[in-house]
Amino acid sequence: MANLYALIIMLMLFWLQLLFGSFALHLPLCVGGIFYISIAFSWRQGIFWAVLTGISLDLFYSREFFLSAWAFIGLVIFAEYWLRKIDMRHLRNCIMPGVIIAFISVLPVWLYKLAIYRDNTVFVFKDMLPVTISILCINAFLLPVMVLLFDEIGEKLRLPLFTKANKRLLEG
Amino acid sequence: MARKGKNLRRWNYGLIISAILIVIMAASFQTLRRAWFRVTNNFFYPYINVPAQIKYLAADGSSRLYSKQELTAKISKLEADNRVFASKVARLGELVVENEKLRSLVKLPKRSAYTYIAAEIILRDPLRWKEGFVVNRGSDDGIIAGTPVLCFNPEYPDKVLLAGVVKDVARHSAQIMTVLNPRFRISGYLAEAKTHGIINGDASQNFRPDEINISFLSTRKKFTPSENCFSSGFEHQIPRGLLIGSLIGLDSKNQIFSNKLYLSGKVLPAAQLDDLHFVVLAIPQKKKAL
């Protein structure tokens, strides 16, 4: 059931991210989903979805550089670290990871642009900084909302919850 | 102790298996990339196409808001437009026949025939907006990799512009690589200097935002700023004479010290890639077997 739930979450988020992307709006929804799955279910599932989503996203966007999968794997490592360090019961503790994972989602494009326009870093900063700042701000609020929504559905389906991940970790 | 050894062995096996997987992935990267693109695009196409469908549904629905008189007026206006277009098409048909006759008289080779189809952009990378996009036409419409993608710009009213080429094709969608993509490589022709160059041909050339690199230009020619750069027709599928952009300037004129045997320059693209919603794909017609 948890696997099916993860599949539905990721398919929906992937589709929504592509949809908003078509309107020039980069919403890092997939990274939010991977972060949720890594904490609520397990880091193994997180890695699976990170690789799959990263490769798919790069292919859909016709990116020649396959950095997203690596960046998303880094996100799963960060999620595991955050789970062991911070109490996940409080949604306010999702604001900071929201900012960090949003930065992870744009990191591959930063690296790509810095490599391509290596003699014109001012352009890269001018082009990417406004987008990055807006994404960080949006995702700081978006991630707690996503966690709230997915946990609400997960509770009804009797699935492992994000907000009870610390307890499960201690018991396991 | 035995458990520790078992864990270590398990880790070793894991590392070996992942190393083998990485090698296999690297070896079959291109094939995997194409296969993955086709499978995922065929699967996701109906979902990606949803915004376009919603737009058409809304447009259809909005026509119900008009009164009968307004609809009648619109129909009569459309009929009048249709009559004008029909007469233009008839005139063009005559010109085509005349052109064929004249070509045969002066023994010119036959014009290469292309089928033109319009396509709508359905997917774009928000972080690399001008470097590529996905259109709602695919191999079912006869599109193959390398098909030229054309567009129009009101600033160049009587010219057909090259926006990019098809990179990968799925059944109902195709990935386009625009002229601003660093991997876009074709030959260009500078009309006033009467010389050819290669777009993105020199890997050592620096990239600048919203500019196209052109290299391997002859050192013996004189180049004027803002002269037009066209497609040369050297590529199998891309017809000659499509406007790529206008020359901004040359990178370096100091050939003696740089030890270069050719010139490089920058071209400003003619296509407005940031505000592009529809494109035209020129599919070369298959030649009949002898």
Confidence at residue B64, expressed as pLDDT on a 0 to 100 scale? 79
CA neighbours closer than 13 Å in the CB half-sphere of residue B27: 6
Residue among B202, B186, B189 at smallest CA distance from B228: B189
Q: For the segment B218-235, what is each residue's pLDDT rounded down to a tens digit?
A: 888 888 888 889 988 888
Residue among B26, B39, B41 at smallest CA distance from B176: B41
Q: For the segment B187-214, what is each residue's pLDDT rounded down to a tens digit?
A: 999 988 888 999 988 777 788 888 888 9
Q: At B272, phi and psi to the nearest 5?
A: -85, 90
Please indicate if any CB of chain B lies within 8 Å of the CB of A123: yes
Confidence at residue B290, expressed as pLDDT on a 0 to 100 scale? 46
Inter-residue contact B159 to B239 (CB < 8 Å): no
B33 burial type by CB count under 10 A (0-12 exposed, 13-18 middle, 19+ buried) = middle
CB contact under 8 A, A59 and B123: no
Instruction: Report the mean per-residue pLDDT for chain B.
Output: 83
- Which of A60-69, B182-191, B271-280 comes out lowest in average pLDDT? A60-69
Confidence at residue B289, expressed as pLDDT on a 0 to 100 scale? 47
Which pTM value belongs to this model? Answer: 0.76
Q: For the segment B72-97, what is each residue's pLDDT rounded down to a tens digit?
A: 999 999 999 999 999 999 998 899 88
Q: Which of B48, B125, B207 sits opposite A62 (nearest CB)?
A: B125
> What ipTM does this complex have?
0.78
Q: Which of B33, B123, B127 sits opposite A22 (nearest CB)?
A: B123
Q: B198: distance to nearest CA of chain A, Å?
A: 19
Please indicate if any CB of chain B lies within 8 Å of the CB of A81: no
